[in-house]
Structure 1
Amino acid sequence: MDIALTVLGGLGLFLYGMTMMSAGLQKTAGNELKKIIEILTTNIYMGILVGTLVTVLIQSSSGTTVMVIGFVNAGIMSLTQAAGVIMGANIGTTITGQLIALNLSEYAPLAVIIGVALLMFSPQKRTKDLAEVIIGVGILFIGMDMMSSGLVLLSAFPEFVRVMSTLDNPILGVLFGFLLTTLVQSSSAAVGLLQALGTEGLININRAVPILLGGNIGTTTTGMLSSIGAKKNAKRAAIINLIFKIAGTVIFMLFLDMPIRKLVLAISPTNISRQIANTHTLFNIISVLLLLPFVNIIIKIANWIVPGEDEEEETATIYLDKRITETPSIALGQVHKEILRMTDLVLENLVEVKDSLTNKDLSQSDKILERENLIDQLDQEITTYLMDLSNETLADLQQNQINKYLYTVNDIERMGDHIDNLEQLARYMVENDIAFTDPAMEGLTDLFDKCIQVVSATKTAFEFTDADLSRTVYEIEDEVDRIEENNRNKHIERSNKKICGAKPGMVFLEALSNLERLSDHANNIADYILNTF
């Protein structure tokens, strides 16, 4: 029982250390991770590079694969791009094994001490994020040491030795590797456990290779489960990952097993941990090189396995997918795109409602209402997505960004409501045959034009986080206030002179009020761009 607790406790520390290291790396990388994804093109070679780098940062090929499935599900990544990133993820995941092979266990307590000291005493947020990485590495090696300590005691039990000897059968080895990786949901943890077994002399490279290959297939279970309920293209991405892993394993076992073992033994004749790490790395690199020319065929097979097209889904958002929330910097980039879509809808409606009100033209009323309903849906879906995202491990900057986005979405939705009010005023004018005086019409047109200008400037300022343009929004909004006040004063003069009737006056003042309030929300968004919460 004590041995089992030691091994499982060590495995738990290993997984926790890896999770902490991953969280620290993601926080340290921040928006750099988003930039890495943004350089992705239809060039599959770039996709492989991106997949490798992202997996090194998030320390999980399964995490990268789930993120890719999310991108494909959202329709923002093609299957060719997905295939490249998945291939790269398989290379990136081997870094942890190489790190373990350095055998830095004796320095692990020192790493934890240094990391904790930085975390407690450093005033710099970026240094604190880096401290998480250092602590994570330390805990990872402490976990490895615990696993090794427990496993070495198992060698005294003949039953355990007999069980391990059954793994001389390659098929059983592959099956064991598959089950082990599926159970711990981490190929890096499975490789780490293998390295611990090897270090204590409980397994040799001949037994380790089939287990490694089975572990590679086992990593696909996370992606396959993630694709349940996803669109067909996302399911195809998961299938591509499975085909890639199975094909690589079959090729390796039939043709490359002995040559790779000889090469690995030549490089590291005595260090079993290094042999396992190198085999893992070589297998994944060679698999990519061999299967890369056949990517289009693999995609066709995936299309054959998952045929047909999806039915249209009733969702307002097109860039958001819950699978992406595990990588907050990427998820926030997708939210940014949705907010820009939302602002575009507001701008379109504002232009259309100007025509409705000034020309008494209701021909676009249905489209305005349709966009307004879409704006409301986007508000709900983006807000829910951001609330879910706030439950992830976040850097302070990312939490601030979520807060800004929540406020921004609310202000954009309120803009939409004011435009809806203006559309109802236009309908009231048509139904009651109300007309404005020429001076009133001229003043209202000027105010509309200025509001269109302020919303357009706000959208661009938000898109590029442009501080100078945000200040310009302030200036335009001040002009809106001035024009609104001037129009209100002139209306009072016309009313006193009996030039303007009661009903036109009521509609006119309501229109002025809604436009001025709309510009206030633009001003709020400029505040969010310039100020940090």
Structure 2
Amino acid sequence: MSDLFNQALIFGVLGGLGLFIFGMRTMSEGLQKIAGERLRRILAALTNNRIIGTLVGIGVTALIQSSSATTVMVVGFVNAGMMSLVQSIGVVLGANIGTTITAQLIAFKITHFALPAIGIGAGLKIFSKRNRKLTYTGEILLGFGLIFFGLSVMKDAFDPIKDSEYFRQLFLLIGDNHLLGVLVGAILTMLVQSSSATMGITLALASSGLLTFEASVALILGENIGTTITANLAALGTNLAARRTALAHFLFNSIGVLYMLILFPFFLSIISFITPGDADLVIQTQQQAQQFGMELGDKPYIARHIANTHTLFNIINTLIFLPLVGVLATITTWLIRGTESQVDLRPKFIDMRVLNTPPIALGQARAETRRMAQHALEMLKETNLYVQDADDKRLEGLEQKEEAVDILQKEITDFLVALSQQSIASQTSRDIASLMHMVNDLERIGDYCEKIWLLAQRKKSQKISFSETAKEDIKRIADQTHDFLAFIIGALEREDKSVMEKAEFFEKSINQLEETYRNNHIARLNTGECAVLPGLVFIDMLHSFEKIGDHTFNVTKALVGYR
């Protein structure tokens, strides 16, 4: 009997927790797909104003229903240099408040709607393939239903242990020893890597009457410390500023928990004052069970008390630390000392840990592609200068840039392939394909730059001389190619898709220059004005510049959506 009891408990908790986490993820993905570009616009609103940063943190986390995803994103942005340490702290403070919406949502007593929501959501997801919005709505409903069904399964699994003296004493110990409760909550959240999942377990235990309100609050405080481990794991291998952001997240949550433990009775009295009902009221009669739609031994009011505790703690903590963001940044800088050494070859924007948030991941891929494009433009500029002055001091920088472009092409492509394997919208899929074309063409531009400077090296080492006419021809096509690439990269930065007409002009102009100069050179060969060996180098250079123009035009087509 004991074995069956343990089996039912373990299977019920594991199954219920699995349904809950899968439901959270499904709902989060549906919300992200519907939010799509709006989510990116919210992130684009980030400024150095700490209040706006906090509001953005609240908004983004409320939309994607995951503070862990938000903090991982923020660490990535800081690592990429897109956000300052002070700004990032404001966003993470906001994320702490945004994540409490999950607890408020699951505190509603709407478990009986779980199965209809699953049925309707699954139906919309399966049978609405042609209507994307209905499909995403189906994902949200399906996830919503799974969350509450998972909670119901966990709650039922805990019912048999209500009469267990061992478990009763264990939960009483947590209630009496607040530090132990904080430690248990922190460790559990670290293990499951989701404060929402730990919140679900806490709500299931408390609603079943197994946890007192005091014990629940202690666990919740611990969960707020445990959730910071995600950001700190995300910060491993990143730059100093990113590691400091993660540490700041840990510090303000931990300090907040510390002063809440000191003011524990006062904090509980505030929650009891603002929340209707007695948190520890236990249903003892059938009449009460019918009234609340619950079972004997359950606590009808405790779920809302727990949700309000989670929300109020994070609001108070944010209000206290918001004016002290600069101080917190100074402390983290002092604790994690050192100066940053930039590694140019390493990707700065893309982060595999945000693949579960496709709109953000796509934005990161675009940012990394723009960075790769800037490398290609700088390489072309330096290549053109090397052709003119043959200064070997330029070669080391050119080789580094070429290596960076090659590495970025591989890293961005791998990232986009991994993103394409996620559950994504059709527009996101088209954007991924365009970016793949773009990075491949940018890498080819780098290859042709390398070919040109190797030709210039050969010209120098073999003491090959160009005529003045040939020098002018090379300079003119080189400048035109550089202007074309600079124009398109500028459009890429602005996301300006109205550039096709001018791009066609540039591309035709470069093709005409290449054809004209090649024919003129052949004419000079026929008259004996030019030698054969310089002519071969000249023709190869012309061809390489023309190919750079072709690949730049391909980048244009990817930008405007033709590829």
Which TM-score applies when normalising by structure 2? 0.87
Partner of 1:226: 234
Which string of whole-angstrom CA distances, capped at 9 and with x for unpartnered residues, describes residues 5-54 of structure 1? 12321111011100111111222222332322221122111121121122
Amino acid in structure 2 at the alignment position of 1:91: I
Which string of whole-angstrom CA distances, capped at 9 and with x for unpartnered residues, describes residues 342-371 of structure 1? 323332333343344356666644443443
Which string of whole-angstrom CA distances, capped at 9 and with x for unpartnered residues, describes residues 452-509 of structure 1? 2321222123223333203421232122222222222222333333333212321222
Partner of 2:359: 329
Indicate if the aligned counterparts of 2:260 and 2:267 stay in contact, CA closer than 8 A: no
Task: Tell me the secondary structure at the aligned position of residue 372 of structure 2.
Answer: helix
Task: Tell me the secondary structure at the aligned position of residue 214 of structure 1.
Answer: helix
Partner of 1:338: 368
Task: Tell me the secondary structure at the aligned position of residue 317 of structure 1.
Answer: coil
Indicate if the aligned counterparts of 2:76 and 2:349 stay in contact, CA closer than 8 A: no
Indicate if the aligned counterparts of 1:91 and 1:281 stay in contact, CA closer than 8 A: yes
Partner of 2:534: 504
Tell me the distance in 1 between the aligned counterparts of 2:468 and 2:444. Answer: 30
Deviation at 1:262, TM superposition (A): 4.3
Alignment of 1:301-340 (within 5 A): 301-311=331-341, 313=343, 315-340=345-370
Amino acid in structure 2 at the alignment position of 1:151: F
Partner of 2:58: 52
Partner of 2:297: none
Indicate if the aligned counterparts of 1:69 and 1:323 stay in contact, CA closer than 8 A: no
- Are the structure 2 counterparts of residues 369 and 224 from structure 1 closer, same or farther at C-alpha, using a change threshold of 3 Å? closer
Partner of 2:82: 76
Tell me the distance in 1 between the aligned counterparts of 2:476 and 2:239. Answer: 47
Partner of 2:114: 108
Indicate if the aligned counterparts of 1:362 and 1:426 stay in contact, CA closer than 8 A: no
Partner of 1:143: 150
Partner of 2:95: 89
Partner of 1:10: 16
- Sequence identity of aligned pairs in percent? 37
Which string of whole-angstrom CA distances, capped at 9 and with x for unpartnered residues, describes residues 491-530 of structure 1? 2333333333212321222122111111111121122223
Aligned length: 533
Tell me the distance in 2 between the aligned counterparts of 1:199 and 1:22. Answer: 25
State which of 244, 252, 257 in structure 2 corresponds to 1:244: 252
Deviation at 1:224, TM superposition (A): 2.9
Tell me the distance in 2 between the aligned counterparts of 1:114 and 1:51. Answer: 31
Partner of 1:131: 138
Partner of 1:27: 33
Amino acid in structure 1 at the alignment position of 2:8: D
Deviation at 1:107, TM superposition (A): 1.6
Which string of whole-angstrom CA distances, capped at 9 and with x for unpartnered residues, describes residues 65-108 of structure 1? 22222333333322211211121111011111111112222222
Deviation at 1:401, TM superposition (A): 2.5
State which of 153, 156, 164 in structure 1 corresponds to 2:163: 156
Structure 2 residues not aligned, in runs of 5+: 1-6, 279-300
Tell me the distance in 2 between the aligned counterparts of 1:211 and 1:521. Answer: 58
Indicate if the aligned counterparts of 2:30 and 2:136 stay in contact, CA closer than 8 A: yes
Tell me the distance in 2 between the aligned counterparts of 1:174 and 1:225. Answer: 20
State which of 515, 520, 525 in structure 2 corresponds to 1:495: 525
- Are the structure 2 counterparts of residues 93 and 510 from structure 1 closer, same or farther at C-alpha, using a change threshold of 3 Å? same
Indicate if the aligned counterparts of 1:74 and 1:318 stay in contact, CA closer than 8 A: yes
Partner of 1:277: 307
Tell me the distance in 2 between the aligned counterparts of 1:428 and 1:182. Answer: 59
Which TM-score applies when normalising by structure 1? 0.92
Deviant stretches of 4+, over 6 Å: none
Moved more, 265-274 or 213-222: 265-274
Tell me the distance in 2 between the aligned counterparts of 1:227 and 1:343. Answer: 26
